[in-house]
Amino acid sequence: MPKKLFLNLSSCIAAALLISGCSQTITQPPADTTEGAPVALQDQSYFGVLPCANCPGIETHLDLLADGSYFLTETYQDRPDSNVSQLGRWTLDNDRLLLQGQDRELIYFATGSGGWLQADIQGRPIVSELNYSIEPQGWNPAEVTGSVEGMLTYMADAASFIECSTGKRFPVIMTEGWLPVERAYLASSSAGDSYLKTLADVTFKWNTPEEGLTRHHLYFNHLQQTLPATTCDSPIEALEHHEWDLVELQNTQPDQLEALQTRPYVKFSGQQLSGHTGCNAMAGQIKLEGERMQLSQVASTRMYCEQAAQIENTLLQLLEKASYSSVEGETWSWYDEDMLRLASFTRKPH
């Protein structure tokens, strides 16, 4: 049975895990607006062998990352070469840990030992003489292999991959498996640093490269398909009636956005776009058909703000270039005709 990787789209909630002795404390620090993801105080791994109806047991390994993402791997003990892995976003609701996957949602409850107790199909804690809990193991991230789809970009001998369902960006390690991906990218891309929708079999490994941060890195195993002029889809129901804060703007440094007194945002309903440039209110029309988008008749009020003037001008100019819309996890990204990334927004929580 081949390995499968199930990916998810879910809400990002700021939360943290502190493991001390036999107790668990959960806090809620400020969100990291540069990534649009929650921030925890530390990464934590959990492990346990859970009961199985038709096998000796299921080895369950859960890695909760500080940025609000997780990797879950379940291995049947009598089938060690076959496992099911899930990459997604975790959410805390009081003492409940929610893992939302594309095909399923898992619920765990906090235990007195600092671990997590599996819930039954009704979402209640399992009461049994058998072990249904996974216990903290420090930070010992598992290697995860499976199929993913996302937006690949490559420039100056550096590549990164934004996984569609979570919006998480992974640096790419250029091993032998990268070579056919590189050839396909160069043949399909019309501009350096553009993005290309890519489907592939990959492996995620936690490591420290010669240059860069210690984190999960992506290794290509087999290229399935590249899809030029395509994004991670753009379902209107996921976009409408929300405010979207600007977190990335072409030719703008993140600290420039952080310094603004009012963060630029957009919102749309039907075919009407509204928002704020960081200085002025703006409004216009927006047309979404699949991943294609068109903004027109955008106007703004005329107040001058010295601090926000450069960002405001850049944002208004890029509105005219936006051609593709892409929902990547909790991020809404805009691309031009050459699939260059113009801007990215994260959804405000209600």
3-state SS of 259-324 is CCCCCCEEEEECCEEEEECCCCEEEEEEEEECCEEEEEEEEECCCCCCCCHHHHHHHHHHHCCCCE
> Whole-angstrom Cα distance, residue 45 to residue 67?
14
Torsion of CA 341, 36, 149, 215, to 10 degrees: 110
Position 217 scores a pLDDT of: 96
Position 33 scores a pLDDT of: 33
Position 190 scores a pLDDT of: 67
**Whole-prediction pTM:** 0.83
Q: Are 259 and 347 in contact (CB under 8 A)?
A: no
What does residue 184 show for φ and ψ, rounded to 5 degrees? Answer: -65, -40
Q: Are 188 and 197 in contact (CB under 8 A)?
A: no
> Whole-angstrom Cα distance, residue 93 to residue 97?
6
What does residue 165 show for φ and ψ, rounded to 5 degrees? Answer: -70, -30
Q: What averages of pLDDT result for each successive group of 10 residues across the chain (350 residues)?
A: 42 32 32 39 92 92 92 89 85 92 85 95 94 96 93 92 93 95 89 92 92 92 96 93 95 92 93 95 94 94 92 94 94 96 90
Q: Residue 194, class by beta-carbon neighbours within 10 Å (0-12 exposed, 13-18 middle, 19+ buried)?
A: buried
Q: Are 116 and 97 in contact (CB under 8 A)?
A: yes
Closest CA to 64 of 86, 42, 34, 96: 42
In 249-279, which positions are buried (b, 16+ CB within 10 angstroms) versus exposed (e)?
bbebeeebbeebeebbbbbbeeeebebbbbb
Q: Of all helices (H) and strands (E), which one includes residue 238?
A: helix 236-239
Only one residue has tokens 């003990």, namely 77
- Here the tokens at position 74 are 């379940």
Position 6 scores a pLDDT of: 45
Q: Are 87 and 166 in contact (CB under 8 A)?
A: yes
Instruction: Give the CA radius of gyration of the chain.
Output: 22
Q: Residue 298, class by beta-carbon neighbours within 10 Å (0-12 exposed, 13-18 middle, 19+ buried)?
A: middle
Q: Of all helices (H) and strands (E), which one includes residue 256?
A: helix 254-258
Closest CA to 268 of 296, 236, 300: 236
